Amino acid sequence: MSERLEDIAVAMVANGRGLLAADESTATIKKRFDSIGLESTEDARRDYREMLLRSDEAMRNYISGVILYEETLFQKAADGTPLVDIIKNAGSIPGIKVDTGAKPLPHFPSETITEGLDGLAARLAKYYEAGARFAKWRGVIAVSGALPSFGTIKANAHALARYATLCQEAGIVPIVEPEVLMDGTPGDHSIDRAEEVTEWVLRTVFEELGDLRVKLEGMILKPSMVIDGKKARKAPVEEIAERTIKVLKRTVPAAVPGIAFLSGGQSTEEATAHLSAMNTTHDLPWKLTFSYGRALQQEALNAWNGKPENVAAGQRAFTHRAKMCSLAAKGSWKKDLEQAA
């Protein structure tokens, strides 16, 4: 496969394929495992992720790349095969989450700045060596009547741009992820407010990327959809799709090859339906696909339930959802296809 940033970025969003976000931090995967009553040991994390990555049909046909947590990038399957090799052998691309998390931003109560720039160049060289060809950094923007503040948007946008230049210098495609939270606190904001904030955030992010000379052809944007807060949810599928496309058209240059959405607390089916509705709009300058964590994994996690005898059921559930998301990335998902699992 080509090592040019532009070619890797195009491959990440090509042919109805999208990204599996399996990069939950140790604290986050513990929460997911708590929901099925499973202790989060290193082996349990390995077994769960190995189950997903060995879903050969899903990996070959629907998943262009996998975002890993550092532990997984260097982890071996139960039979000693590096997990990275399982991804590559299925024709998919390994990637890595490189931020070290959102921390309180001094002087800005209830807002955060994402950290991880110090020493990042050296870490990227190590990740490249281990096979990673793209990376992810998530900036988090909380929404309320008064939030976000411009200081927070600007600080996070600047960090995203600094991260993106370091990635490109290391031969790694940056996924630039400014998440406007739908399920933060209070989480009852309207879709109007979500639209206004998302436009403001994306405009600022692309200004910072431009100022730092990030090569737009060699990056992927990972935004949230324009959606009302989780406690306010009432906008229909078509409205979410239309408003999201409107904001993206206003803010994302056509040079960016692809936009891969996060699911952010939407249900599995909502995230699939919204993506499909957007892809029925035909005059788009970029590919629109998925980079889901929860919306790709939830059904597989429940079907697996931490038990070795359920591996095949977990893989079936994952493959079904990946297939539905792939159809959505082509604009051809339909609700009645959901029954097929």
Residues with a known catalytic role? 177, 222
Q: CB-wise, 139 or 309, nearer to ligand 13P?
A: 139
How would DSSP label each residue in 263-312? -TT--HHHHHHHHHHHTT----SSEEEEEESHHHHHHHHHHHTT-GGGHH
DSSP for 207-271, please give it. HHHHHTT--GGG-EE-PPPS---TTT----HHHHHHHHHHHHHHHS-TT--EEEE--TT--HHHH
Q: Could you give phi then psi for residue 58, rounded to 5 degrees?
A: -65, -45
Instruction: Tell me the C-alpha to C-alpha distance, in Å, between residue 118 and each of 102, 138, 166, 170.
Output: 14, 16, 11, 15
Say if residues 140 and 128 touch (Cβ distance below 8 Å). Answer: no
Residue 31, number of CB atoms within 10 A of its CB: 11
Q: Which is nearer to ligand 13P, 245 or 295 (CB)?
A: 295
Shortest separation between residue 140's beta carbon and ligand 13P, angstroms = 9
Q: Which is nearer to ligand 13P, 1 or 23 (CB)?
A: 23
Residue 143 Cβ vs ligand 13P, minimum distance, rounded to whole Å: 15
8 Å CB contact between 299 and 320: yes
**Which CB sits closer to ligand 13P, 12 or 308?**
12
Sorted by sequence, the CB contacts under 8 Å of residue 236 that are 6+ apart come out as none
Cα 275 from Cα 169, distance rounded (Å)? 32
- Residue 76 CB, shortest distance to ligand 13P, in Å, is 24
In sequence order, the β-bridge partners of residue 76 are: 82
52 within 8 A of 20, measured Cβ to Cβ = yes
Angle among Cα 217, 221, 225 to the nearest 5 degrees reads 145
Q: Name the residue nearer to ligand 13P (CB basis): 68 or 254.
A: 68
Provide φ and ψ at 148, rounded to 5°: -85, 165
191 close to 144: Cβ distance less than 8 angstroms: no
**Taken in order 23, 197, 324, 61, is the CA torsion positive or negative?**
negative
Q: Least distance (Å) from ligand 13P to the CB of residue 309?
A: 27
Q: Closer CB to ligand 13P, residue 114 or residue 210?
A: 114
**Number of Cβ atoms within 10 Å of the Cβ of 295:** 27
Closest residue to ligand 13P: CB criterion? 293
**Would you tell me which residues interact with ligand 13P (CB under 6 A)?**
21, 138, 177, 262-264, 292-295
The residue among 177 and 299 lying less far from ligand 13P, judged by its C-beta, is 177
The least distance separating ligand 13P from the CB of residue 283, rounded to whole angstroms, comes to 27
Q: How far is the CB of 23 from ligand 13P (least distance, A)?
A: 6
Q: Nearest distance from residue 263's CB to ligand 13P, in Å?
A: 3
